[in-house]
Amino acid sequence: MESAEVRPGVAVTLRALNEALGRPGALWVKESSARNLRHRDFLAPLAALRAAFPGGQVPADVLELVTSLCGAGVLPVSSAQQTPAGLEVRLQRPEAFRRLLLCSGPGPPPAPAPAVVLHCPALRGPGAPRPRHLRPLLLADHLAQLLRAQGVHVRLVPALSEEGPQEVLRQLRIDWPAGPADPDLSDAVSALKRGLARAPCVAGGGQGPGAAALPADVICKVQLKGFVEQQGLVGYDPNLDVLLVTEGKLRSVAELQQAALQCPRCALLQAGGHGSCCSILHVVSCEEEFQQQQLDLLWRILDPGPHTALQVRSLPLSSPLTAASPCSAGLSFRASVLMPSAFSTDEAWTEVIDTLTAAAIRFEMLSTAHRSQITLDLQDSSISTKGTKSGAFVMYNCARLATLFDTFQRAVEQGTYPPLPPPSELNFSCLREEGEWLLLFNYLLPFPEVLQQAAQLPAPTKGIRITANTEAVCKFLIQLSMDFSSYYNRVHVLGEPFPHLFEQMFARLQLLAAVRDVFHSALGTLHLPPLSQI
């Protein structure tokens, strides 16, 4: 049927449930705890029902609408009943397994959004990034991957020069574009200088009495405070006053301007002269925020086009790092903490250790919201490599899945098991374990929505600062690893080679193949390759 051809989803099912109750508000909640999922999958709480229906009693015809829900992407309902907790809905679980596990992928991404120029000022300084730059660098890299997964065209600025910190970024698995050491921006800078001569808030532009008092490398002064007040801009630092414009600042503006004009949807605006339809996203640390606001206002003064500037700010680490580079201390503990010394010289294991180290650093930095402070001291090896909330734990469970399927494939080659049949031939009613529904309902079903929400750039309520959900993927992977590990430790997936056990084994393998795909896709947004062994 038509609904089986569309990937089922939680959000579309919740919309259908709300429509069935005939109320504009969102009355339903999705259950997630193992305890509640034993009894129900969705709940309209009694308090919400009382606000919607007299006495909180749902009419019989409305109950009928709920139980007969259908449509593309809507999960099939098995039963709906009123209890002291409210209106409880339980899904047709074997059918939900079948619909999802027959899908070949997560479905097409949403329609492309306007392009984003993602600017990370931490890469503008000479030499390797300082330790305080580590968090915004990882945030920018992860956010770029999330946006691309949603079909957004992303331009990364600035381009790395040949003398840039390629080795440091390689160790951190950051994929940043390289460019010429000295890109030709002379025409763009000249145009900006001409714009300075016309701007009313500019003073001391090389002519007149005030020019002699300026430092040799300063072109002119710009009155930022007056411009902010004149334009009615909000959210900027109240201490912004006078900016001394240098050639370097103009080159930074020119590079951002060129990146914005290369947006695929800007052709018409380019033909008109200037401006762009891009969102400009500056990922900055607290220390860089003031300077970046100065640069943004200078760009607004010189280019009044319709670009939208936003800032994602990361709070600093609560204790400063003293390592010479972001990786030098972090990588020093890898062999002793993550691996036995016997493997330290093996090339394959070295790659495993490097990946685990990058995963440990990324999860420490990204699993906390960027608006919250974190505590980290690389020299004291405070990066977590054990327990259930570390990057190493996530990578370990990803490797367990690889080992499971390698073991199964070898058994097939030896004739112990028959090959895994096509998904259409599997009996998903065999999936009756509590942990199996938990994996599907809490992770496989909502995963595309998790990526979409993590990539959202919400409009700021006031000013230019926004809050991105950059911690969502790490938290999702940690929780998935915990629930998968609990299930895997409890259930023997590859059972005895008896034909009457194959049906359940094949259904479980198909489920875990989907779990493996989710691991790989989520790790891909972090530029972490899945490991096949640990």
Q: Are residues 28 and 162 in the same domain?
A: no
Question: What are the tens digits of pLDDT across the range 446-468?
Answer: 999 999 999 888 776 677 788 88
Q: How far apart are CA 443 and CA 397, in angstroms?
A: 15
- What total number of domains does the chain contain? 3
* Per-residue confidence (pLDDT) for residue 3, from 0 to 100: 40
**Average pLDDT score, the chain:** 81
In a domain, 111, yes or no: no
294 plus 385 within the same structural domain: no
Q: How many CA atoms lie within 13 A of 488 on its CB side?
A: 20
Residue 463 lies in a domain: no
What does the pLDDT read at residue 91?
Answer: 96
CATH code, 406: 1.10.730.10
For residue 40, the enclosing domain spans 2-91
Identity of residue 523 = L
Is residue 377 very low, low, confident or very high in pLDDT (cuts 50, 70, 90)? Answer: low
* Residue with the two structure tokens 């065999």: 430
With respect to residue 321, please indicate whether it lies within any of the assigned structural domains. Answer: no
- Record the tokens describing residue 465, joined without a space: 């600062």
pLDDT tier at 387, thresholds 50, 70, 90: low
Do residue 393 and residue 345 come from a single domain? yes
Please tell me whether residues 85 and 120 are part of one structural domain. Answer: no
Residue 163 to residue 95: CA distance in whole angstroms: 57
Q: Does residue 372 form part of some domain?
A: yes
> Which pTM was predicted?
0.87
Q: Are residues 309 and 341 in the same domain?
A: no
Of the two residues 284 and 406, the one the predictor is more confident about is 406
Whether the CA torsion 203, 208, 209, 215 is positive or negative: it is positive
Q: What percent of the chain has pLDDT over 90?
A: 38
Task: Evaluate if residue 337 carries a pLDDT over 50.
Answer: no
Does residue 32 register a pLDDT over 90?
yes
Q: Read off the pLDDT of each residue in 345-374 and give the average, rounded to a whole number.
A: 81
Render pLDDT for 253-269 as a digit per residue (tens, 0 to 9).
Answer: 988 888 888 776 554 44
DSSP strand pairing (42-45 vs 86-91): antiparallel
Please say whether the beta carbons of 220 and 204 come within 8 A.
Answer: yes
Q: Among 314, 340, 359, identify where a domain stops.
A: 314
Q: Are residues 58 and 166 in the same domain?
A: no
Which CATH number fits the domain that encloses residue 296?
A: 3.40.50.620
Question: Which of 29, 57, 91 marks a domain boundary?
Answer: 91
The CA-based dihedral angle spanning residues 278, 161, 165, 216, taken in that order and rounded to the nearest 10 degrees: -90
CA 236 to chain centre: 26
- The larger pLDDT score, comparing residue 192 to residue 533, is at 192
**pLDDT of 213-230, one tens digit each?**
678 888 888 889 988 888
* 243: helix, strand or coil: strand
Residue 515 lies inside a defined structural domain of this protein: yes
Same structural domain, 165 and 72:
no
Say if residue 287 is in the same domain as residue 363: no
Judge whether residue 502 has pLDDT over 90. Answer: yes
CA angle 260-265-271, nearest 5°? 80
The pLDDT, as a whole number, for residue 475 is: 95
Q: Does one domain contain both 158 and 63?
A: no
Examine the fold and report which residue of 262, 281, 314 is the final residue of a domain before the chain moves on.
314
Same domain, 361 and 292: no
* Residue 518 lies inside a defined structural domain of this protein: yes
Q: Who wins on pLDDT, 445 or 168? A: 445
Structure token digits, residue 345: 């010289």
Q: Residue 181 carries which DSSP code?
A: S
How many residues are recorded in the chain? Answer: 534
Are 17 and 63 within one domain?
yes
Looking at the fold, whether 186 and 271 belong to one and the same domain comes out as yes
